[in-house]
Amino acid sequence: MAEIAQHQFLTLDDILTHWAALQPDAPAIEDAQLAVSYGELDQLSRQLIGWLAARGIGAGDRVAFLGKNAASYGVLYCACARAGIVIAPVGWRLAAREIAYILADTEAKLLVATHDFMELASMAMAELATPPELIGDAAMLEGARVCDPADFTPCGVDDPILQLYTSGTTGHPKGVLLSNANLTRLRNEGIAAGLTYYTDYRSGDCMMVAMPIAHIGGTGTFNLAIIAGIRCRFEAEFTPAGVLAAIEAGATHMFMVPAALQMVIQHPQAASTDFSNLRYLIYGAAPMPLELLKQAVSTMPTTQFLQAYGMTETTGTVSILPPEDHSLEGNQRMRSAGKALPGVEIEVRGPDNVEVPRGDIGEVCIRSPSNTQGYWKLPEATAKTIDPDGWLHTGDAGVMDADGYVYIQDRIKDMIISGGENVYPAEVESAIYGHPAIAEVAVIGVPSAKWGEEVKACVVAKPGMEIDEADVIAWARERIAAFKAPKSVDVIPLMPRNASGKILRRELRAPYWEGQERQVS
């Protein structure tokens, strides 16, 4: 297959215009219901801009999307990105109350939902005094197709186009603003440096998106496909059988969290699956045990593995462990998060915000063209995360070796990553705290063979009260999304605290993590 010549464009509008002119008949976006070529995507996204304009929606406005991964989202994303409308995908696993919070915070004028989530969308809207307009994705596309392609002012390089929600230590969701440049500039740096995983795209290639679009691992992966001019296949949600089928059907690139990768390689069909189509597999966002990584490399011997380290606030990947550092027998570097990408600066800093000597532990700090401009409507939170010199403080504790490889030791922030989903202890604790039998609660992440980590609640009973584990779990599931609720509950006599009264989560975690190779990827 012929290689696809790569470009240096920085906006989605320029990129789509380029591919529509160069390869109008090449497949762009597909799922089980919809498939469009680059020429059709160019036309339909322009029609959709007109359809949005007729509803009074234009540059700087917000549009939310609720549903599983879908080609309709991809089309809407492209239309919004071209015209400077900020799209905010909402996690379909969230509870109605959580969705309502995000809708209110975005000030979205429109909520587009897939058919299966119209009822949940209506429940969320019922909690709002001034809800956005609600429309199904099929009706949206049907309406757009009878509109004329719109004339519009293209979105600027540094204008935000994507707003992803991620919680912080307070547990309140924060909207991370990502611009065209955040999503494209590092790729151009990688091409200039001659990195093959930025240039090795061929006609017929297919990027599979199985991770949720409400996360950077989902929408970011889709974005990579469109920038590269290849086909993007949306899987509604991750299933091991679906991934295996997609690989045999021609998927050449994909991103997965370790828990998903483990399910794929341990699936009964994996032994008979031909993995030769899959050239690149990017993994990250959660702990990856060395033995699991060795097993994956063995199962997919022709696939090039890359570990990606980053966060929503860095638009995903800022360091890479490249294919040449992966081996069947395993090595020390496979325990690391790799090295900074071209164009990225990474330093490990001490409490005084000064870089520590190589080999010493400190906070991983990042300066990159991919760093977010900040959190939506939260200047104080932005200032706490990004210092005046542009360094983003990740909250991850790590060590950098003499060769520049970064080893993440622990999370300074207490976020739990379970099956690729981010869970924040403060939010779970808040849901549990009102339980009539519970005096104190602390939530931690503990190792899980299936999910990487799972949520555990450590609770202290009120005097004279008995605590039932199943009752606590049910109580939490009534108040927050099921994936955030604890999988287990430990009743403890006393909550460990320091002199200032802060709960010592590390002491609670320690017995469960003893003997683990590492706690964070």
C-alpha 239/C-alpha 259 separation (Å) is: 11
Residue 521 has pLDDT above 50, yes or no: no
Residues 6 or more apart whose CB falls under 8 angstroms from that of 119 comprise: none
Report the alpha-carbon angle 218-7-283, nearest 5: 30
Whole-model pTM: value is 0.83
Q: Which ranges in the chain are annotated with CATH 2.30.38.10? A: 337-411
- Domain spanning 337-411, CATH class: mainly beta
Instruction: Report residue 363's pLDDT band, with 50, 70 and 90 as the boundaries.
Output: very high
Q: Which ranges in the chain are annotated with CATH 3.30.300.30? A: 416-513
SS3 call for 373: coil
Residue 501 has pLDDT above 90, yes or no: no
When mean pLDDT is compared across 55-64, 75-84, 323-332, 493-502, the lowest value belongs to 493-502
Residue 31 has pLDDT above 60, yes or no: yes
Asked whether 309 and 366 are in contact (CB, 8 A), the reply is: no
pLDDT, position 411: 65
pLDDT, position 516: 73
pLDDT, position 287: 55
Instruction: Report residue 169's pLDDT band, with 50, 70 and 90 as the boundaries.
Output: very low
pLDDT, position 291: 73
Q: Which ranges in the chain are annotated with CATH 3.40.50.12780? A: 12-181
pLDDT, position 365: 98
Q: Kind and range of the H or E element at 340?
A: strand 339-340
Kindly report the number of other CB atoms within 10 A of residue 161's CB atom. Answer: 27
Across 12-21, 259-268, 446-455, the highest mean pLDDT is recorded for 12-21
For residue range 316-358, list pLDDT tens digits in order: 999 999 999 998 888 888 888 999 999 999 999 999 999 999 9
Residue 2 has pLDDT above 90, yes or no: no
pLDDT, position 486: 96
pLDDT, position 171: 58
Instruction: Report residue 500's pLDDT band, with 50, 70 and 90 as the boundaries.
Output: very low
CATH of 416-513, one of 2.40.50.140, 3.60.15.10, 3.30.300.30, 3.40.50.720: 3.30.300.30
Fold of 12-181: Rossmann fold (3.40.50)
The one-letter amino acid at 446? V
Residue 80 has pLDDT above 50, yes or no: yes
pLDDT, position 289: 67
SS3 call for 272: helix
Mean pLDDT to the nearest integer, 454-466:
93
Alpha carbon distances (Å) from 228 to 9, 193, 222, 371: 11, 16, 10, 21
Mean pLDDT to the nearest integer, 286-315:
87
When mean pLDDT is compared across 49-53, 150-154, 224-228, 423-427, the lowest value belongs to 423-427
Instruction: Report residue 134's pLDDT band, with 50, 70 and 90 as the boundaries.
Output: very high
Q: What does the DSSP 8-state code read for residue 270? A: G
Asked whether 392 and 365 are in contact (CB, 8 A), the reply is: yes
Instruction: Report residue 502's pLDDT band, with 50, 70 and 90 as the boundaries.
Output: low
Average pLDDT of the chain? 92
Q: What does the DSSP 8-state code read for residue 282? A: E
